[in-house]
A and B are shown apart, each in its own frame.
Chain A
Amino acid sequence: MPKPEILDPQGKAVLGALPRLGFSGVTDVRQGKRFELAFEGEVTDAVLAEVEKMAETLLSNPVIENYAVRVES
């Protein structure tokens, strides 16, 4: 996700479009990205540590983005 202090023009455009379609009550929209990584076998702590590294080096830009890692089966 873009960090809270970073302007998110895409989110703002979506926020502007919602009332035009009759949706009300939304006060803010932030647009981010979701990556789904598949692994063979169990996602161990070692695998998770690798994923954290991937998130830091390539998947996100820590200058402007925050990330969170979640395991789903």
Chain B
Amino acid sequence: MRVGVVTFPGSLDDVDAQRAVQVGGHEAVALWHGDHDLRGVDAVVLPGGFSYGDYLRCGAISRFSPVMTEVVEAARRGLPVLGICNGFQILCESRLLPGALIRNQRQKFLCLDQPLTIENNRTPWTSAYAEGAEVVIALKNGEGAFVADEETLDRLEGEGQVVARYRGQNPNGSLRDIAGICNERGNVVGLMPHPEHSVEELTGTGTDGLGFFTSLAASVLA
């Protein structure tokens, strides 16, 4: 499959995400924030980093970049979209996902090997995992606390839209230990941890993140 990875001004993990896409068996296609063009890709990754310097709010300015108009429209048609960290923040600011991400409860930037439980393996990004799979994936964020009103949280839980949850100690104050969610249809997934940093033994925290990139083929062939 051809998987687009968007580069915004201030993206940091776009090249890592491209590499993870390739390790996962796909062709990585570089997409540019300033283009109204998805170049015919089969899926899109919004990578981590500090797009627009995190000015105003994380993801708030990127949301209005030309490429996001296309991403939002394609996502509504069912295109698989994965937002990682800053990408998750952009998806929330775009209203493709509910809720918002605010400053970590203890103010500090985090960088750790984070235990997670994959709770929803019915999305195109998580179908390679067993339901309830326990994995360890790199987590690094300053504004990673997921918040939403009680009604939204109940709905996310009730509809199985919590994709991943922090296991053990909650690292950043996310409500209900939420690490990742999806939209109602399941094609749009936002994730605070960084699976693209956990795809090769040589670097990172092991290969537990690879499933996010191998899932695509499995879900399309299924």
Contacts and interface: CB of A to CB of B under 8 A. Distances in A.
A64 B173 CA distance: 15
A9 B142 CA distance: 12
A21 interface: no
A5 B99 CA distance: 13
B106 A63 contact: no
A13 B93 CA distance: 25
B105 interface: yes
Nearest to B108: A9
Given A7-B105, A9-B102, A10-B107, A63 B64 contact: no
A64 B102 CA distance: 9
Main secondary structure on chain B at its contact with chain A?
loop
Given A61-B57, A64-B102, A7 B173 contact: yes
Contacts of B105: 7, 9
B103 A6 contact: no
Interface residues of B, number: 20
Contacts, number: 36
A46 interface: no
A2 B147 CA distance: 12
Nearest to B99: A63
Interface string B52-76: 0000110010001000000000000
A52 to B, nearest CB: 17
Nearest to A63: B100
A9 B103 contact: yes
Given A5-B149, A58-B60, A63 B92 contact: yes
Contacts of B92: 63
A9 B149 CA distance: 17
A59 interface: yes
B170 interface: no
A56 to B, nearest CB: 12
B147 A6 contact: yes
- Top 7 A-B residue pairs of the complex, sorted by shortest distance between their CB atoms: A64-B100, A63-B100, A9-B103, A9-B107, A13-B107, A9-B105, A61-B57
23 contacts: A2-B102, A5-B149, A7-B102, A7-B173, A9-B102, A9-B103, A9-B104, A9-B105, A9-B106, A9-B107, A9-B145, A9-B173, A10-B103, A10-B107, A13-B107, A58-B60, A61-B57, A61-B93, A61-B100, A63-B99, A63-B100, A63-B148, A64-B147
Interface of B: 56-57, 60, 64, 92-93, 98-100, 102-107, 145, 147-149, 173
Given A9-B102, A9-B106, A64-B147, 7 more contacts: A7-B173, A9-B103, A58-B56, A61-B60, A61-B93, A63-B98, A64-B100
